[in-house]
Amino acid sequence: MAKSCLPAIPLAIFGVIEPAMLVWAYIIAHRDLPSFYAAQAPNHLHPSSSPVPAPALVLLLQLVNVYLLLAAVAVVCSWTTHASVSRGYLVAVAFADYGHVWACYKGVGPDLFWDLSRWNDMLWGAVGVSLALNVFRWLTVLGAFGSVRDPRDPAGAVATGGPAKKNA
């Protein structure tokens, strides 16, 4: 049976749901690249039926390839018994979330970014879901769902390698 150092809720979120969403985004993008391209900036004047410029196509395909890469990395780093790996992954991706949201902000501009009524599914996923996952990442690292620890250690050693404190 597979084991993880993550508690059940973070494991379900980061080891199953998030990778599945990334694979789904990869599939959706490949089904209709022009629409996926146009959806990156809601209400943009680029019609989804027009061809994607070659430089944008290269970047778009690289982006969706990163989705697939991140899905694999999320599975590997969530389903490990090494607490330091999972914790390091969650912190790194938490900081990367901020860069992801900033890129969306710069791409769509402040008027659209702060007007949630004009957001499309793509922007909700890119910003809304990223920020929600970011909160869960930090809560997991801080132990809100239980400690991130090696499940093979019956004493409950934490990521630092020290023995777990026991209540008297």
pLDDT digits (tens, 9 = 90+) for 142-167: 999 999 988 777 655 544 444 444 44
Give the number of domains in the chain.
1
**Residues 6 or more apart from 8 whose CB is under 8 A from it?**
145
Assess if residue 147 is contained within a domain.
no
Q: What is the pTM of this model?
A: 0.81
Q: Measuring CA to CA, which residue among 79, 63, 60 is closest to residue 19? A: 79
Judged by DSSP in three states, 149 sits in strand
Q: 67-98, pLDDT tens digit by residue? A: 999 999 999 999 999 999 999 999 999 999 99
Local confidence band at 35 (pLDDT 50, 70, 90 cut-offs)? confident
Q: Domain residues for 62? A: 8-141
Q: Across all residues in the chain, what is the average pLDDT? A: 87
Assess if residue 82 is contained within a domain.
yes
- The secondary structure of 92-114 as a DSSP string is HHHHHHHHHHHHHHHHHHHHHHT
